[in-house]
Amino acid sequence: MTYKLLDGKDLSKRMKQAMKLEVQSLAEAGIVPGLAVVIVGNDPASRIYVNNKKKDCEEVGIRSFEYALPEETSEVQLLGLIDALNQDPAIDGILVQLPIPKHLDEAKVIRRISHEKDVDAFHPYNTGELMIGRPVFAPCTPAGVMELIKDAGIDVTGKNCVVVGRSNIVGKPMSMLMLHANATVTVCHSKTKDLKSACRQADILIVAIGKADFITADYVKEGAVVIDVGMNRRDDGKLTGDVDFESVSKKASAITPVPGGVGPMTRAILLKNTIKACNMHKKNMLS
């Protein structure tokens, strides 16, 4: 079977071109969207993500503000910084790069970010709005997946969608977005009995478990759409997803590569959410 490659690099590039024009028109009105990125400690993967986000902001004309804090930063210090950023009119979006050091309470940190500046869409307010089908900000990775599917002309209505993984960042919000798009959704996880059989029912299979090349061809129905959210490093240093691309691509009708599939889309949605936050704040100022 010949598969369609769901190219996140290409789509994110097109999205960024459109966003650049939107930011230019805001700039003509004297408004520049601002994104604050907070990184605590020196996790190498986090540093790469933060650098990429800064590059993306530069590309579309969003001002980015980086706050790199040492590993030993106290919770009081981090929450104090978030409070200051919540009050800062130059900042439209706040992102605390996860994971944060173990001595900091992740849930408390996420709750402290104003839900109006929560461009990652992790705050309970925003996850609640997503649940009832009125998301203010779409969670970046799941929304990026939806954009890829839509751009490829894949209709999810009535399709069996299997999401492997139930994290708050990908699995749960992904299942909600698919449900709102009228798919029939099954969420699988580490306690699922006969995972292989469940996956083989999927017209659309979305995998986010963090296990390199875990999903092989025998998990996949002929002609399925396969979305690989995983990003793992093999022993030889090469990046790979949760799906064994080599074997699965022979059965899939459409599939994302790793890297270059979902990753660039996650970052594109972050920019989109920051611009949306800026427009919301501007409207609040004018009203």
Q: List, by residue number, the catalytic residues.
A: 53, 97, 120
CA neighbor of 275 nearest in space, from 10, 19, 96, 6: 19
Burial grade of 69 (CB within 10 A; 0-12, 13-18, 19 or more): middle
Distance, CA of 145 to CA of 165 (rounded, Å): 15
Distance, CA of 258 to CA of 231 (rounded, Å): 7
Q: Which two tokens stand for residue 207?
A: 């995998």
CA neighbor of 103 nearest in space, from 129, 126, 77: 77
